[in-house]
Amino acid sequence: MAGHKREYDEDDVRIRPGRSSRPRTRTRPKHDDAVDALVITVDRGRYGCVREDAPAGGDLQMITAMRARELGRKSVVVGDRVALVGDVTGAPGALARIVRIGERTSVLRRTADDDDTTPEGRLERVVVANADQLVIVSALADPPPRTGFIDRCLVAAYDADIEPLLCLTKADLSGPEAVLDYYAELDLPYVLVQPDSDLTEVRKALAGQISVLVGHSGVGKSTLVNRLVPDALRAVGAVSAIGKGRHTSTSAVALRLPAVGRSRKDPGWIVDTPGIRSFGLAHVSAESLLHGFPDLVEGTLEDQPNCGHAPTDVECRLQSWVAEGKADPRRLTSYRRLLSSRAGEPDPRDDPRDPNPHEATPPTDHPPA
């Protein structure tokens, strides 16, 4: 009937669903066909990868990849084990995507405290993931060994739960006795290298491992890398093409060690870190710092839980314990210097202008001004 008012019921009411009740319209792919790979270089958003199933001793096909958007802010570093999809042929111009990052077995970190002029200067940075050992390359002469740098590297290695290996180069110029005596209580594994010397022992120590090489300029690290990987320059050149031609002299790069003879055993990887001059330890707690000095741990057992073991801690028993001849006084001095350097104070032993950074005699407890 015209003019009759229509009655409404619940069927006429449309209720807009709340945001929480909306069904998900996007299902993330599982990527079951993804290829497992190892990241061997990182350069400006491009990642150089090689397949994990690549045979030992064979030519490695470099795969250029980018990080998938679904990973969010997760970082990808050299040593990461990742899953790739897309074009994984490694052909020129091909680009794959990293869709998963494997759980890391170890993370080697450093505080980038080499530049205090910017707020970013003291940020914690990941050097490499999944490393098995840290190879600390130090010359026995020209330049002389720097125990401050070695101590920092030891702390970084123990903090990352990876094994340290001391590689002493230029053994033809000086003997290792002074350095080995300084670390006698640590039972620190070491290898000796000199020009044209046989590298069999070095290769044995590196076999089957991912080893990170660190060392100051002039200690012979680059020479050692080129001897271990004869085509290292060619390999680095191929890697630098990932970043549109930028040379990788300041970038970490993983290099596959060549197979020895006809052996099918994994010869291992070395990660060269030419851009790292020091290991800042601001990210390491004072307690964890002590892990780099296991020879001093026993002397701290009777201290109060909140003791910082610094010279200003009057009730610290570590000083008297060392004075009783139970540890090398130089080790206590080094530990306290590293404690101070965490607060930004420079370690004089890391100064390249110091002609004699290795202390042959026990120094005073307080670092020089």
pTM value?
0.79
**10 Å Cβ neighbour count for 17?**
8
Q: Is the model's pLDDT at 149 over the cut of 80? A: yes
Instruction: Tell me which of 242 and 318 has the higher pLDDT.
Output: 318
Residues, the chain, total? 369
The rounded radius of gyration (Å) of the Cα atoms in the chain is 27
Local confidence band at 16 (pLDDT 50, 70, 90 cut-offs): low
Q: Report the candidate in 52, 53, 51 with the shortest Cα–Cα distance to residue 61.
A: 51
Instruction: Tell me which of 39 and 346 has the higher pLDDT.
Output: 39
230: preceding bond cis by omega (within 30 degrees): no
Task: Give strand ranges (E) for 193-286.
Answer: 210-214, 253-256, 269-272
Q: Which residues contact 119 (CB under 8 A, 6 or more apart)?
A: none
**φ, ψ (nearest 5 deg) of residue 104:** -85, 135
User: Quick one: pLDDT at residue 247?
Assistant: 38
pLDDT tens for 277-293 read: 677 888 888 778 888 89
User: Quick one: pLDDT at residue 3?
Assistant: 56
Looking at every residue in the chain, the average pLDDT score rounds to: 80
User: Quick one: pLDDT at residue 345?
Assistant: 56
Average pLDDT rounded to a whole number, residues 96-118: 81
User: What letter represents residue 218's amino acid?
Assistant: G
DSSP 19: G
Instruction: Tell me which of 357 and 322 has the higher pLDDT.
Output: 322
Q: Is the model's pLDDT at 276 over the cut of 50? A: yes
User: What letter represents residue 177's amino acid?
Assistant: E
Instruction: Tell me which of 248 and 2 has the higher pLDDT.
Output: 2
User: Quick one: pLDDT at residue 117?
Assistant: 46
Longest CA span, the chain = 114
Q: Is the model's pLDDT at 217 over the cut of 80? A: yes
Q: How far is CA 222 from CA 69, 137, 149, 270, 318, in A?
A: 36, 10, 18, 12, 40
User: Quick one: pLDDT at residue 12?
Assistant: 58
User: Quick one: pLDDT at residue 309?
Assistant: 85
Q: Is the model's pLDDT at 103 over the cut of 90? A: yes
**φ, ψ (nearest 5 deg) of residue 235:** -65, -45
DSSP 80: -
147-148-150-154 Cα dihedral, nearest 10 degrees: 130
Local confidence band at 111 (pLDDT 50, 70, 90 cut-offs): confident
Local confidence band at 185 (pLDDT 50, 70, 90 cut-offs): confident
Residue 315 CB burial class (10 angstroms; 0-12, 13-18, ≥19): exposed
Provide, rounded to the nearest whole percent, the portion of the chain with pLDDT above 90: 47
User: Quick one: pLDDT at residue 11?
Assistant: 54
pLDDT tens for 235-260 read: 544 444 444 444 344 578 999 998 87
Q: Which residues contact 118 (CB under 8 A, 6 or more apart)?
A: none
Instruction: Tell me which of 351 and 222 has the higher pLDDT.
Output: 222
CA quadruple 185, 190, 194, 200: dihedral sign: positive
Local confidence band at 343 (pLDDT 50, 70, 90 cut-offs): low
CA 30 and chain centroid, separation: 31
The helix (H) or strand (E) run that includes residue 168 is strand 163-169
Q: Is the model's pLDDT at 359 over the cut of 50? A: no
SS3 294: helix
**10 Å Cβ neighbour count for 351?**
11
CA 207 and chain centroid, separation: 18
Rounded to whole angstroms, how far apart are CA atoms 37 and 99? 11
User: Quick one: pLDDT at residue 288?
Assistant: 85
pLDDT tens for 41-70 read: 998 889 999 998 876 666 788 999 999 998
Rounded to whole angstroms, how far apart are CA atoms 165 and 157? 10
Residue 247 CB burial class (10 angstroms; 0-12, 13-18, ≥19): exposed
